[in-house]
Amino acid sequence: MISTQFDVELIDQKDLVNPLPLANLMYQIYSKDIGLPTEGVEYFLRELSQNDEGIGIQFTFIRQNHSLIGYGRLEYRTEAHNDQTYASLEVGISSPYPRSIVFEVIIASILKNLPGAIQRIKISLLDTDQLVEYLQQKTDTEPIFTNYLNVCELEATIEQVDEEIRQVGQQVSSHLDHQIEIYINEQYPKTDPDLARLMGIIWNANIGINTKMEPEKFPVSRLLGRYNWIRDHNFDLIAVIARDALNNANIGFSEIFIHQKNTLVAKQSLTGVNPIYRGLGFGYLLKLRLLKYLKNQTEVHYWTTFNAAKNPAVQRINQKLGFHPYRKYKVFEYHIEQLRSYFNSQ
């Protein structure tokens, strides 16, 4: 019988001295949950060794007999111009241990040592995780939304992709004279204030769909910082940007990351179209151009993307490109006082 006596430690990411046990556990859990080629333990070590300006990360470590068996990763905003009342919680628990018990220990510890001005916490769980049913019964609440990890295995031929680009491009051109450019790594317009404004629009639109966070500012400095984070984590960045040729304005963009030690998988980052240009087919066309790049210039076999069930427009585009649901996540959101009452942690 597995003991339920645990040692608990709270520590900020910036104070981690030996991140290897945590990196190993994160890698094991991620590999099991995702089931696709991964970047390896080195990726998680690098992730844990860096601290992003404006973001606080607090870990709750659960150990038994000096071995790390679970963790809670609480991420929250620290800058005054962002929503400091909102946090997201990632939970990782080694499979032999009682998940609900370890989870309760993590929650109780977080509630006793809550950083900053946090008032709400979002928790995302794989829908097959027994914690989903446990939370629904324990708190008598349903998930606020469902998030899908979709995978496209790039089965279309390059000829099929070219023909689709031609047809969609003609349709879009009938509405608007435009230019589409591909930017790779250092070519990326990381100091373009117009791109920063557009990214802020898309970023906050996604927040509005998926959470109750307040809109965030997206200055050029944040665009540059985001680019530096991507490159510092050994990702290649490929971006497709459409511009209004007449008004010299950004129409929309779509980005993918490819890790240099996991070149079989491309990860979709942000995709978005300025609201004044929506409904013309640019979202689909931008992703088609990315697909052509992946087919012609890389050895990628899997293209992954997340999208919320609340965003049917993106779902339709992904389905046309050949994406299919691969994993499903349930997202819960709680006010701190709710959690205190549910888990008797006054």
User: So what's the pLDDT on residue 4?
Assistant: 67
Residues contacting 28, CB < 8 A, separation 6+: 94
Q: What is the tens place of the pLDDT at every residue in 87-96?
A: 999 999 998 8
Least confident of 2-16, 25-39, 243-257: 2-16
Q: What is the extent of the structural domain holding 233?
A: 156-321
Query: Which pTM was predicted?
Result: 0.90
Six-digit token string for 46:
């690098």
Q: What is the CATH number of the domain that holds 121?
A: 3.40.630.30
User: So what's the pLDDT on residue 116?
Assistant: 80
Describe the crossing of helices 130-139 and 99-112 by its angle, rounded to 10 degrees.
60
In a domain? residue 151: no
Same domain, 245 and 100: no
Determine what percent of the chain is predicted with pLDDT higher than 90: 75
In a domain? residue 316: yes
In a domain? residue 251: yes
Q: What is the tens place of the pLDDT at every residue in 186-242?
A: 999 999 999 999 999 988 887 766 666 778 888 999 999 999 999 988 999 999 999
Same domain, 72 and 142: yes
In a domain? residue 1: no
For the chain, strand residue ranges (E) read: 7-12, 55-64, 67-77, 86-93, 120-126, 145-152, 178-184, 235-244, 249-259, 265-273, 302-308, 324-335
Same domain, 229 and 337: no
Q: What is the tens place of the pLDDT at every residue in 98-112?
A: 999 999 999 999 999
Q: What does the alpha-carbon distance between residue 344 and residue 338 come to, in Å, rounded to a whole number? A: 10
Same domain, 71 and 105: yes
Six-digit token string for 243:
């511009």
Q: What is the tens place of the pLDDT at every residue in 121-180?
A: 999 999 999 999 999 999 999 998 889 999 999 999 999 999 999 999 999 999 899 999
Would the pLDDT of 346 be above 60? Answer: no
Of the two residues 269 and 205, the one the predictor is more confident about is 269
Same domain, 306 and 178: yes
User: So what's the pLDDT on residue 3?
Assistant: 53
Same domain, 121 and 213: no
In a domain? residue 137: yes
How many domains is the chain partitioned into structurally? 2
Same domain, 300 and 334: no
In a domain? residue 19: yes
Same domain, 177 and 258: yes
- The amino acid at 184: I
> Which strands, in side-by-side order, build the sheet including 324-335?
7-12, 55-64, 67-77, 86-93, 120-126, 324-335, 145-152, 302-308, 265-273, 249-259, 235-244, 178-184
Same domain, 164 and 187: yes
Same domain, 166 and 69: no
Mean pLDDT of the residues in the chain = 91
In a domain? residue 2: no
- The amino acid at 258: I
Same domain, 313 and 165: yes
Same domain, 23 and 100: yes
In a domain? residue 130: yes
pLDDT, mean of residues 288-292? 96
Bridge-based pairing state of the strands 265-273 and 302-308: parallel
